[in-house]
Amino acid sequence: MAQVQKTSYRDAGVDVERGDAFVARIKEKVKSTYGARVVSGIGGFAALYDMGDKLLAAGTDGVGTKVKLAQMLDRHDTIGIDLVAMCVNDVICTGARPLFFLDYIATGKLELPVAEAIVSGTVDGCKQAEAALIGGETAEMPGVYAAGEYDLAGFCVGEVAKPYLIDGGQIREGDALIALPSSGVHANGYSLVRKLVRPDEKELMRACLTPTRIYWKAVQRVLPHVTGMAHITGGGFANVPRMNENFDYIIDALPPMDEIPPVFGVLAERSGLAAAELYRTFNMGVGFVIATREPEAVMQKLAAAGEKCRRIGHIRAGTGRVVVTGADGFSI
């Protein structure tokens, strides 16, 4: 059998470490704008702003080069769901209820059927998130975008009463980790996906276009039992310690490959990447992680709502690492 040529996220043109370095460089400049009401800003899943008895939680994101797949397949009615999901799933990590959403569409030339399909997906996503789509912006930018090209950005604001804020400070050693499944690749790692999937593989491309899950309706059922939450987004499992970096996150029961979307098996085989790098790039079938001291109650409530959740590990004192145990174990 021919040896597979290893193809990493960096080989595809994305340098995650450089992105982290950029955040480190701008953090103090950004903080210079903060007033007394800013509770937390750059670095968390969502920024928090003090409104008295409540906190506003805000987040912004896009869908990256997944838009290229939508354009190649000429299917634009699901990419708006991804846009909402990438913002909402961050905001709800604080325990906040999504309130409203705004979107931004930039394109070379506004094509009305395409733009309408994008917004239809955004409306669908907002309904799933129980958030209002209250505004947005459309920009025609010939010379920046070629014909048929567009990019998207989204902005979500939620609210949480101060006593119910989930900021990871409630996490304790011994808390369990519960995973909620992803629907597929979601909206991260697509610069690498596009190097591994050929344009003529339409069925595989459609699988890669499967929209990101929105976890609000599941998460709100278990909030009283939660000590921390992590959206498995860009950086893969490296997002888990963002709950609280004073702990290590021990993963001893990852979903087996035959229980996650088949697209991950294809990406793993074609990329030739070791498990540690796969889990730093993709969600590998886990889209959201909940920390709790009451795993039975959480899993019972999620199961009653039709969720196929699973207990994947526990928390111990540490320094912000993800430690995957077993014969092929690794650390992130």
pLDDT tops 90 at residue 30: no
Structure tokens at 104: 């931004």
With H, G, I as helix, E, B as strand and everything else as coil, classify residue 238.
Answer: helix
Pairing of strands 47-50, 54-61: antiparallel
Describe the crossing of helices 66-73 and 79-91 by its angle, rounded to 10 degrees.
160
pLDDT tops 60 at residue 216: yes
Q: Selecting from 3.30.1330.10, 3.20.20.150, 3.40.50.970, 3.90.180.10, what CATH number does the domain 34-164 have? A: 3.30.1330.10
When the pLDDT of each residue in the chain is averaged and rounded to a whole number, the result is 94
According to CATH, the superfamily of the domain at 176-331 is: PurM-like C-terminal domain (3.90.650.10)
Average pLDDT, stretch 260-289? Answer: 96
Structure tokens at 289: 């992680």
The residue extents of the domains of the chain are: 34-164, 176-331
Which pLDDT value is given to residue 4?
A: 59
pLDDT tops 70 at residue 32: yes
Environment class of 319 (CB within 10 Å of its CB; exposed 0-12, middle 13-18, buried 19+): exposed
- Tell me the C-alpha distance between 84 and 104, whole Å: 11
Residues 6+ apart with CB under 8 A from 145: 106, 107, 108, 151
Average pLDDT, stretch 267-288? Answer: 96
Longest Cα–Cα distance of the chain, Å, equals 64
**Helix H or strand E segment including 39:** strand 38-40
DSSP for residue 170: T
With H, G, I as helix, E, B as strand and everything else as coil, classify residue 1.
Answer: coil
Structure tokens at 21: 């370095």
pLDDT above 70 coverage of the chain, percent: 95
Average pLDDT, stretch 114-124? Answer: 98
Which pLDDT value is given to residue 117?
A: 98
Contact yes or no for 57/94 (Cβ under 8 A) = yes
pLDDT band at 21 (very low <50, low <70, confident <90, very high): confident
Which pLDDT value is given to residue 22?
A: 84
Contact yes or no for 228/291 (Cβ under 8 A) = yes
- Tell me the C-alpha distance between 121 and 84, whole Å: 9
Which pLDDT value is given to residue 2?
A: 46
- Tell me the C-alpha distance between 59 and 45, whole Å: 7
